[in-house]
Structure 1
Amino acid sequence: MSSKTTLRVGRLVKAHGLKGAFKLELYTDSPDERFKPGAVLDLQVPDTSPWFGKTVTVKELRYYNQSPVLFLNEAEDRDAADTLVKAILLVNADVEALPAEPDAWYDHQLVGLRVLRGGVEVGKVIRVDHLPAQDCLAIETATGEVLLPFLKIFVPTVDITKGEVTITPPGGLFEELPEN
């Protein structure tokens, strides 16, 4: 039996142009999946907003100068778009469903996993940072937070079922393990 959860997938930053489009701040690493035409999104807005309790439907996601711009069926012009600015976009997702591509996970599936190095638990994944060069796992250790590039060479195994990731970090990134 799968369970559903509400995921934040983006925020409408500001109106863009005159046709009801929005500059979009992405909170998802699969925008083409989350914002495909026809996708219905829940809104997180103040209860005083005319949009409170309503949903919107994606018309199109485009990119202008590498910036995502979202068109919604419900926003036909700039005036309508202005009423939705700062809304958080939400989806109901199966928390156990994996992305279509192999060796891929959603952030919410990685957060909370135990981090093992040489069979010894060294910490826990607290978030995933999507940086320009590559994604990094933020790992809370006994001595503080460590950012580890989320590359196969450093994170050879992710086992969602066991609730753990195995890491082989470069020297000096984590405290040295005691010799057995």
Structure 2
Amino acid sequence: MVVGRIGRPHGVRGEVTVEVRTDDPDDRFVPGAVLLTEPAARGPLTVAGARWHREVLLLSIERPDGSPVDSREAAEELRDTELHVPVADLPELEDPDAYYDHQLVGLAARLTDGSALGTVTAVRHEGADLLVVARDRGRELLVPFVAAIVPTVDLAGGVVVVDPPEGLLDL
């Protein structure tokens, strides 16, 4: 599961900025945490240090051989690397109405009458949570992931039910 993406270097000592993609950054990016990478050839990477600079997470990291990333140039080489944690390492969610993104991707989206709407291909977190539903002819539909519009999530059945407000399907 993607928990972040390395951004630009910060300073000259090898720190990197991280675009956080997890609700638990203070748990995921602790010193000693090992993060898988995409592309895989760049990792796994170990968090050597983490700190917040205003609202930006900064990491000091070590390469797979234990050597530190200690220059701006070395940090730049890691730009756009996705940081992952194995799905098996994720804790169980306490809220029965909460889901990890990877649980939703791939589910069939159906309307309340049972007709096919498409397939959930991604979840976006852009102020509000949005399901990206692939429709016919390569079109995408963004569905607000709220109970009033998505009243049913059936992981075992592989389906989300969408009750769209008037006009949503016309966008």
What TM-score range do you get, normalising by the shorter chain?
0.7 to 0.9
Corresponding residue of 1:178: none
Task: Go from structure 1 to structure 2 and tell me whether the alpha carbon gap of 1:99 and 1:37 turns closer, same or farther (over 3 Å shift).
Answer: farther
| 2:64 pairs with 1:75 | no
Corresponding residue of 1:122: 117
| 2:145 pairs with 1:145 | no
Q: Number of aligned pairs? A: 162
1:109-141: CA deviations, max 9, x gaps? 11111112213132211111221x201111123
Structure number with the higher helix fraction is 2
When normalised by structure 2's length, the TM-score is 0.74
When normalised by structure 1's length, the TM-score is 0.71
Q: How does 1:17-56 map to 2 (within 5 A)?
A: 17-44=11-38, 52=42, 54-56=43-45
- Does the CA-based 8 Å contact 1:157-1:167 persist in structure 2? yes
Q: How does 1:151-162 map to 2 (within 5 A)?
A: 151-162=146-157
Task: Go from structure 1 to structure 2 and tell me whether the alpha carbon gap of 1:61 and 1:162 turns closer, same or farther (over 3 Å shift).
Answer: farther
- Does the CA-based 8 Å contact 1:139-1:147 persist in structure 2? yes
Specify which of 50, 54, 57 is matched with residue 65 of structure 1: 54
TM-superposed deviation, 1:145: 1.7
Gaps of 5+ in 2: none
Of all paired residues, the percent bearing the same amino acid is: 36
CA distance in 1, matches of 2:39, 2:140: 33
